[in-house]
């Protein structure tokens, strides 16, 4: 499993979880949120405004993860406020992983996948991140108009 975060100006180093390790709420909370997201947010934003948004993966919906996120990230979008069946509203899904999948990267054998993802990840430009952020706002507006039906 690989975990990543993007903003309109920055993308973090990819975080890889060992092959065949089951991601549960505790591992996600401790190894990703506590060790990666929280320190990054503190260093990057201090008291500035930022929003933490996750998709509706089962691990992200776990009570411990929702509570931790609510308590540690000031503008966290909880699962109760995030529309169900909205993968197309998640920038990582419609933009980043979509592009990587289109390049055939996501179908590589596991040993090659990590290297290929890291190489491609380093090629992402700030302009691409800014365009993704702008597109996110448009998708939200369209989602409201369509009453959150999937956006293609």
Total domains in the chain come to: 1
- Looking at the domain assignment, is residue 152 inside a domain? no
Cα 25 to Cα 30, 60, 115, distances in angstroms: 8, 7, 27
Establish if 49 belongs to a structural domain. yes
Burial status of residue 5 (CB atoms within 10 A of its CB: 0-12, 13-18, 19 or more)? buried
Strands 15-16 and 51-52 turn out to be unpaired
| Domain CATH for 132 | 3.30.420.10
The verdict on residue 150 lying in a domain is no
pLDDT of residue 87: 55
- Across the chain, mean pLDDT equals 83
Q: For residue 50, is it within any domain?
A: yes
pTM, rounded to two decimals: 0.76
Comparing C-alpha atoms, which of 5, 62, 9, 7 is closest to residue 35? 5
Q: Which of 17-26, 91-100, 129-138 has the lowest mean pLDDT?
A: 91-100
The answer to the question of residue 123 being in a domain is yes
Do 92 and 53 form a contact (C-beta atoms < 8 A)? no
Confidence of residue 133 (pLDDT cuts 50, 70, 90): confident
Higher pLDDT among residues 147 and 6, named by residue: 6
Kindly state the percentage of the chain with pLDDT values over 90: 22
Q: What is the pLDDT of residues 36-47, one digit of tens each?
A: 999 988 888 877
pLDDT per residue over 141-150, tens digit each? 887 777 765 5
Quick check: 33 pLDDT over 90? yes
Give me 6's structure tokens.
Answer: 């993007």
Which tokens hold the place of 115? Answer: 């290297």
Q: Is residue 46 part of a domain?
A: yes
Quick: pLDDT tens for 57-110: 889 999 999 999 999 988 888 888 776 656 567 788 778 887 777 777 777 777
> Can you give the pLDDT at residue 152?
47
Instruction: Give domain status of residue 44, yes or no.
Output: yes
Domain hosting residue 122, numbered range: 2-145
Task: Return the pLDDT at 97.
Answer: 80
Does residue 35 belong to any structural domain of this protein? yes
């Amino acid at each position: 499993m690989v975990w990543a975060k993007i903003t309109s100006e920055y993308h973090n180093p990819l975080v890889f979880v060992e092959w065949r390790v089951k991601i549960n709420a505790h591992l996600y909370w401790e190894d990703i949120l506590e060790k990666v997201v929280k320190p990054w947010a503190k260093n990057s934003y201090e008291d500035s405004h930022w929003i933490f948004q996750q998709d509706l993966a089962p691990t992200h919906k776990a009570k411990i993860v929702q509570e931790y996120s609510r308590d540690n990230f000031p503008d966290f979008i909880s699962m109760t406020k995030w529309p169900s069946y909205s993968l197309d509203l998640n920038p990582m899904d419609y933009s980043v992983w979509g592009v990587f999948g289109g390049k055939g990267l996501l179908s590589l054998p596991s040993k090659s996948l990590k290297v290929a993802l890291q190489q491609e990840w380093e090629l992402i430009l700030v302009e691409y991140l800014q365009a993704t952020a702008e597109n996110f706002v448009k998708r939200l507006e369209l989602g409201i108009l369509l009453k959150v039906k999937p956006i293609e």
